[in-house]
Structure 1
Amino acid sequence: MKIQLKSKEEIERIRMAGAILADCHKEIAKVIKPGVTTAEIDRLVEVYLASRGATPAQKGYRGFPFAICASVNEVVCHGFPGTVPLQEGDIVTIDIVVNKSGWMADSAWSYRVGNVSQEAERLLQVTERALAAGIEAARIGNRVGDISYAVQEVARKAGLGIVKPLIGHGIGRNMHEPPDVPNFGRPRSGPKLQAGMVITIEPILTLGDTGAVFWDQDGWTIRSADGSLGAHYEHTLAITEEGPVILTC
């Protein structure tokens, strides 16, 4: 599949999905606390999206059975919601793809459960900073590799690991479209950034400096190989003549 450039009208449709997703994350933020289960958050999201005329796009995608990915502590991505209560000091990433009238938006956020350790706080802040650096590089005249390098350098300078198998991507009518947007790479490499491209940028970093991971037997849940904490922040954005426009805030 070629990179699909979106019209202004199509970007607005993605923005509609993104606005619902942003509001959904605000609802999640209200309930994240010790004692809450990720299964309860999953149900909240499904009910909330239905109330807005939207659906969770990942539910049923390649057999994934839930409305959200819920990744706690050393689970870095694609965790299954469960009935174990969150505990003080946990960090939990909630990753959601919203489908609104056939157009999709994707956003993940790592949440603090009560008070977290200094190292966990550093991981969260650096990962969010890596996302901001990637977005800043998402400008016409640059290439995908410039986004990748910007994310990589924030992680490298902080001594954090990059989960290299997991990457950002194009999005629109499909959850995953070209181009791939890795979290590591060389400047001035990869496809040119053009007006009308809609992509996700999603650094996934670990406190362990290798970023190595393994997959659980369920085929989805991905954990840091060294057991260290992982964090994941993601926005969907459009490349425009005026600069990057975040569609999920």
Structure 2
Amino acid sequence: MTYCHDLPLCSWILQGQKTHKVVHELATPRQPLLNDPSIGKNGTFNPFYQFPFSGSLRPVYPLSPTRVVPDHIPRPDYAENGRLMGFVHDVKTAVRLGQPPHILSAEEQQKMRKVCKLAREVLDLAASHVRPGITTDEIDAVVHQACIDRNSYPSPLNYRHYPKSVCTSINEAICHGIPDQRKLQEGDIINIDVTLYHDGVHGDLNETYAVGRIDDDAKRVIRTSRACLDAAIKICKPGALFRDLGKIIEPIARANGCSVVRTYTGHGINDLFHASPNIPHYARNKAVGTMKAGMAFTIEPMINLGSNQDEMHWPDNWTATTGDGKLSAQFEETLLVTETGVEILTAGKPREL
């Protein structure tokens, strides 16, 4: 997932050498009234129908009830009340003061391998359901049950009060789309962002998929996003600088007529969903830190079609879309730096894009 690092609601934005904290609370959607123009014939509605959306994508409410995780499944500290305990202190301290990322022990590395393998299984299962006519809420149900079947907690659920078990971002949605009643349509693209919590650690990944046949622009932004991620991974090894990842990513995006989102970044991951280091995806960034064996983190460039790198946020305070309504695509892997290079913990089978 994307926090400014991967997830949004408590996000950290780097501006020069300063780190700014942006805290959001989940908005309470407006409830429809009789004869409300936002209500569809089937009872669905757009709670923000007066909002100046940048593109054609609209939320389709009501959201389904919060899905339940059985009591026997271990859960992170925020699962019950949405508040982040260790997260707030550790990330604030590590990012602001430049403290080094956590070096995983051999035991912790094995736990990360396990949870990332499970997360890959869940994402691949969710992707197998992508087709015209399915709702993103139905995809959320698939992910939720798949996590439970693996004795795992879906990490997004109640993270800063996020209401669902997965993020589903369609077309111009950059990240953090909330699953709802909208049916996927032929020609859409959708990013599915899965994170699992298992045996005390998190595993995080996402990919963007075509819904039926898509046009050349959609293919281009998807392929560019994947190419940016793959190129960045290739330079990961002990001694590499985190700031150099953006130096690799942005020229690839620009060469393909695309731009790189600056607000959201990759992040460290371990027993915390989002931890140090903070990893921007654009060139000439001021990220601090050098890769060392035993560090685990995500790289997840968000690539917009065209030159507009800005985003706008829906009133739900989660969904981020492109400022001009053009398409956006993203791929993410969780990585482990080894003594000789890097291990892609969430690696899957190669896809034809």
Give the TM-score range, shorter chain: over 0.9
Equivalence for 2:198: 100
Kindly indicate whether the alpha-carbon contact (under 8 Å) linking 1:17 and 1:105 is maintained by their aligned counterparts in 2: yes
Aligned partners of 2:321, 2:112: CA distance in 1, in Å? 31
Aligned partners of 1:104, 1:14: CA distance in 2, in Å? 7
1:142 is paired with a residue of what secondary structure?
coil
- Structure with the bigger percentage of helix: 1
Kindly indicate whether the alpha-carbon contact (under 8 Å) linking 1:39 and 1:82 is maintained by their aligned counterparts in 2: yes
2:243 is paired with a residue of what secondary structure?
helix
2:240 is paired with a residue of what secondary structure?
coil
Kindly indicate whether the alpha-carbon contact (under 8 Å) linking 1:142 and 1:188 is maintained by their aligned counterparts in 2: no
Equivalence for 1:162: 260
Question: Would you say 1:87 and 2:191 are equivalent positions?
Answer: no
Q: Give deviations 1:51-104, integer Å, cap 9, x for gaps.
A: 011111110000101000110001110000011110001000011111001100
Deviates further, 212-221 or 181-190:
181-190
Whichever residue aligns with residue 103 of structure 2, its letter is L
Equivalence for 1:69: 167
Whichever residue aligns with residue 65 of structure 1, its letter is P
Kindly indicate whether the alpha-carbon contact (under 8 Å) linking 2:231 and 2:248 is maintained by their aligned counterparts in 1: yes
Whichever residue aligns with residue 20 of structure 1, its letter is L
**Change over 3 Å in CA distance of 1:177–1:117 after alignment to 2:** same
| Offset of residue 141 of structure 1 | 2.0
Kindly indicate whether the alpha-carbon contact (under 8 Å) linking 2:279 and 2:287 is maintained by their aligned counterparts in 1: no
Question: Would you say 1:38 and 2:153 are equivalent positions?
Answer: no
Deviates further, 197-206 or 185-194:
185-194
| Offset of residue 156 of structure 1 | 1.9
| Offset of residue 42 of structure 1 | 0.1
Aligned partners of 1:58, 1:193: CA distance in 2, in Å? 27
| Offset of residue 189 of structure 1 | 6.3
Equivalence for 2:240: 142
The CA RMSD over aligned residues, in Å, is: 1.3
Kindly indicate whether the alpha-carbon contact (under 8 Å) linking 1:143 and 1:188 is maintained by their aligned counterparts in 2: no
Give the TM-score, by structure 2 length.
0.69
| Offset of residue 188 of structure 1 | 9.8
Aligned partners of 1:188, 1:219: CA distance in 2, in Å? 27
Kindly indicate whether the alpha-carbon contact (under 8 Å) linking 2:122 and 2:194 is maintained by their aligned counterparts in 1: no
2:128 is paired with a residue of what secondary structure?
helix
Question: Would you say 1:225 and 2:329 are equivalent positions?
Answer: no
Whichever residue aligns with residue 117 of structure 1, its letter is D
| Offset of residue 187 of structure 1 | 8.7
Equivalence for 1:184: 282
Aligned partners of 2:197, 2:283: CA distance in 1, in Å? 30
1:31 is paired with a residue of what secondary structure?
coil
Equivalence for 1:110: 208
Deviates further, 9-18 or 198-207:
9-18
For structure 2, list consecutive stretches of 5 or more residues without a partner in the other structure: 1-93, 348-353
For structure 1, list consecutive stretches of 5 or more residues without a partner in the other structure: none
Q: Give deviations 1:210-248, integer Å, cap 9, x for gaps.
A: 211011111100010000001010000001112110111
Whichever residue aligns with residue 196 of structure 1, its letter is G
Deviates further, 175-184 or 155-164:
155-164
Q: Identical aligned pairs, as a percentage?
A: 33
Question: Would you say 1:234 and 2:322 are equivalent positions?
Answer: no
Whichever residue aligns with residue 296 of structure 2, its letter is V
Moved over 2 A (4+): 185-190
Equivalence for 1:50: 148
Whichever residue aligns with residue 117 of structure 2, its letter is A
Give the TM-score, by structure 1 length.
0.97
The count of residues paired between Structure 1 and Structure 2 equals 249
- Structure with the bigger percentage of strand: 1
Q: Give deviations 1:134-166, integer Å, cap 9, x for gaps.
A: 111111121001212111221122121111001
Aligned partners of 1:202, 1:188: CA distance in 2, in Å? 17
